[in-house]
């Protein structure tokens, strides 16, 4: 986002982790095929309808922000919403809403997302708060940048960062 890019398709398949050393990782975002580049960094809303040549909305329904689904325009805050969906998926191994693309899209517009703690009661409350903030239907209520989310995640997860994965995901 600091470089004026709105990705518009943040999802687990487009995020890679690169281990630098023990407990130190770098997140890499991949596949900028439908990204919007705004060199001014002003993040003005992108387009009405945002249709591809085949008439499909841009993005993956399971990870799309409400404003992206409505086609009313996206800013970096749509990517923040998508990041919340990815974080939820990483911990629960489930998408927030399930069903057909249209059903999922309508759920993103109207339904309250389930919490991580409803799926994994031993997760830190701070993690649930971060995801809930990212998944606000109103973009103005979401965290304003990914660095803010990264810092909050680091703080929220510090108590479980040294636990083996088998303790975190007991199933």
**To 5 degrees, how large is the angle CA 21–CA 1–CA 123?**
55
- In order of 124, 129, 157, 169, the CA distances from 114 in angstroms are 15, 12, 19, 18
Where in the sequence numbering do the catalytic residues fall? Answer: 9
Residue 77 C-alpha from the chain's centroid = 10
């Amino acid at each position: 986002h600091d470089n004026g890019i709105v990705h518009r398709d943040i999802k687990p398949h487009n995020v890679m982790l690169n281990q630098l050393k023990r407990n130190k990782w770098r997140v890499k975002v991949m596949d900028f095929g439908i990204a919007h580049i705004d060199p001014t960094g002003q993040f003005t809303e992108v387009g009405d309808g945002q249709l591809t040549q085949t008439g499909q909305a841009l993005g993956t329904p399971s990870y799309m922000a409400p404003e992206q689904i409505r086609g009313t325009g996206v800013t970096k805050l749509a990517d923040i919403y998508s990041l919340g969906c990815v974080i939820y998926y990483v911990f629960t191994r489930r998408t927030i809403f399930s069903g057909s693309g249209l059903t999922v899209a309508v759920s993103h517009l109207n339904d309250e997302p389930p919490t991580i703690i409803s799926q994994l009661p031993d997760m830190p409350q701070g993690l649930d708060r971060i995801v809930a903030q990212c998944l606000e239907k109103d973009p103005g209520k979401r965290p304003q940048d990914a660095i803010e989310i990264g810092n909050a995640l680091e703080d929220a997860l510090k108590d479980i960062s040294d636990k083996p994965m088998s303790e975190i995901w007991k199933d």
